[in-house]
């Protein structure tokens, strides 16, 4: 991500992760993107406390689908599903993800 999105990565991801370190150091173990982290992001880092990014990234991932959209899973997650060790569900519609080519 850094290689393909250098400026955005430094402006967004680095402060995001630094806020996690500051939050843990000051508040201890709290919710990852809870009110303490949001406070550090907005008041100390002077950044909007956004949890996700919108970088264009090159993907070699596996395409899974649910009832509402496509999902791109890494090789590691794909292998966990294939070995019946886990399943993943969509955060929006709640359905279990299925490999697109196998449906």
Domain ranges of the chain: 1-58, 62-102
Residue given tokens 């992001």 in the structure block: 41
pLDDT of residue 83: 92
Judge whether residue 29 has pLDDT over 90: yes
More confident residue, 1 or 72: 72
Q: What average pLDDT does the segment 30-42 reach? A: 95
Q: CA 96 to CA 66: how far, in whole Å?
A: 6
Catalytic positions:
17
Kindly report the three-state secondary structure assignment for every residue of 51-94.
Answer: CCCCCCCCCCCEEEECCCCEEEECHHHHHHHHCCCCCCECCCCC
- pTM for the whole structure: 0.56
Judge whether residue 103 has pLDDT over 50: no
User: CB atoms < 10 A from the CB of 87, how many?
Assistant: 10
Element at 35 (helix H, strand E): helix 35-39
Return mean pLDDT, the chain.
Answer: 88
Q: What percent of the chain has pLDDT over 90?
A: 61
């Amino acid at each position: 991500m850094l290689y393909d999105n250098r400026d955005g990565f430094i402006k967004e991801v680095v402060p995001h992760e630094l806020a996690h370190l500051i939050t843990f150091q000051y508040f201890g173990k709290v919710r990852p993107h809870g009110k303490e982290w949001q406070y550090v992001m907005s008041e100390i880092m002077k950044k909007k406390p956004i949890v996700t990014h919108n970088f264009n990234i090159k993907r070699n991932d596996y395409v899974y689908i649910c009832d509402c959209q496509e999902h791109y899973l890494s090789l590691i997650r794909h292998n966990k599903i294939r070995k019946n060790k886990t399943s993943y569900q969509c955060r929006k519609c709640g359905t279990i993800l299925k490999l697109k080519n196998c449906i």
